[in-house]
Amino acid sequence: QAKLAGKNCFRYYNRAMDHAVERRLYLEQELRGAWDRGELRLVYQPIFRTRDHMLVGAEVLLRWNHPTLGSIPPSVFIDVAEQSGLIQALGPKVLHAACEQAMQWPRNAAGEEVFISVNVSPRQLRNGDLVGEVETSLHTSGLAASRLHLELTETAVIGDEILAVTLLEKLHRAGVRVWLDDFGTGFSGLSHLRQVPVDGVKIDRSFVADMERDPDDLALTTAIIAMAHALGITVVAEGVEQRAQFELLSQRGCDLVQGYWLGRPLNADALVQLLEHDTAGVPGILA
């Protein structure tokens, strides 16, 4: 009896595996031509400065709307792109399009130029010519290097510190800013920040989500902010969904904030609209 169940279970497991593998292969095949078919588009999520509520930048996020499968989340397709190597072609396209787009943006209400923040996946760091791609994008778009920020994940930077430090130094020489994304989720921790020359950290939204309820998360968030400031780097909090979170982060001196409460990812036109009509920043605060 048990043997039979085990066998069935095994068969079922196998079929489920086949299904997952097939689906992945199908996604990979579809993703290959998705950019050229116009199924991929970029959205921009505004980033605000806590001190004066100004919109100071935006993160570019990729969206895939497949004709039959519908909208596929980045958590799924970025992974497919990364595993298959497609990211090597896709990454530079996103970078380039984002720089071109940022050239269209008006200044913010404080008269400052707004930055564009682009996610870079681990594979782009290891295999590609990231510095060359950055220089090409800046050159062809005409965007000032200081307006381009790159978000690297903590895990991409650990492991090969020497390579990471060399790369970060080259990027700095190119004039762009580098942030560590999803900070706090890896194991590198705060001490790692001393070795890796980054301009800022983005506190992962899992800390922000539980900050009010979980004293450990609040303590960690507070510690990250203090430590980053001691090192002279910027702190961004992502995933701010409630006013209370915004206030806690402001009180603790977090420099920049991003999240659904402040602004959802917007299409290119909507972001321009926001910049043109918004004169005092953080919409939730004024509402």
Give the interface segment with ligand C2E, choosing from 7-15, 99-107, 216-224, 253-261 (CB under 6 A). 253-261
Q: Choose between 267 and 279: whose C-beta lies nearer to ligand C2E.
A: 267
Helix (H, G, I), strand (E, B) or coil at 226: helix
CB burial of 23-33 (b: ≥16 within 10 Å; e: otherwise) equals eeeebbebbee
What phi, psi does 209 have (nearest 5°)? Answer: -60, -40
Q: Choose between 177 and 205: whose C-beta lies nearer to ligand C2E.
A: 205
In which element (H, E) is residue 12 found? helix 2-32
Q: Build a one-symbol-per-residue string for 100-139: x at contacts with ligand C2E by CB under 6 A, - elsewhere.
A: -------------------xxx------------------
DSSP secondary structure code for residue 114 in this structure: P
* Site size with ligand C2E, rule: CB under 6 A: 23
Task: Name which of residues 16 to 45 contact ligand C2E (CB under 6 A).
Answer: 45
Among 75, 142, 232, 277, binds ligand C2E (CB under 6 A): 75
Helix (H, G, I), strand (E, B) or coil at 253: coil
Those residues whose C-beta lies under 8 Å from the C-beta of residue 105, and which sit 6 or more positions away, are 113, 114, 271, 272, 275
Q: Build a one-symbol-per-residue string for 24-63: x at contacts with Mg ion by CB under 5 A, - elsewhere.
A: ----------------------------------------
In which element (H, E) is residue 47 found? strand 40-49
Helix (H, G, I), strand (E, B) or coil at 124: helix
Q: Choose between 57 and 92: whose C-beta lies nearer to Mg ion.
A: 57
Q: Choose between 81 and 114: whose C-beta lies nearer to ligand C2E.
A: 81
Q: Choose between 30 and 120: whose C-beta lies nearer to Mg ion.
A: 120
**End-to-end Cα spacing for the chain:** 65
Those residues whose C-beta lies under 8 Å from the C-beta of residue 261, and which sit 6 or more positions away, are 240, 241, 242, 243, 245, 246, 284
Residue 151 as a binder of Mg ion (CB under 5 A): the answer is yes
Dihedral angle of Cα 32, 33, 35, 38, to the nearest 10 degrees: -150
Cβ atoms of 127 and 161 closer than 8 Å: no
Task: Name which of residues 154 to 213 contact Mg ion (CB under 5 A).
Answer: 181-182, 204
Task: Name which of residues 160 to 219 contact ligand C2E (CB under 6 A).
Answer: 181-182, 205
Helix (H, G, I), strand (E, B) or coil at 173: helix
Q: Build a one-symbol-per-residue string for 76-95: x at contacts with ligand C2E by CB under 6 A, - elsewhere.
A: --x---------------x-
Nearest-approach distance from CB 119 to Mg ion, in angstroms:
5
Helix (H, G, I), strand (E, B) or coil at 67: coil
What, of ligand C2E, Mg ion, none, does residue 241 touch, CB below 5 to 8 Å by kind? ligand C2E
Task: For residue 219, give Cα distances in angstroms to 116, 226, 252.
Answer: 30, 11, 11
Residue 154 as a binder of ligand C2E (CB under 6 A): the answer is no
Which residues of this chain interact with Mg ion, rule CB under 5 A?
119, 151, 181-182, 204, 238
Which residues of this chain interact with ligand C2E, rule CB under 6 A?
45, 61-62, 73-75, 78, 94, 119-121, 151, 181-182, 205, 238-241, 258-260, 265
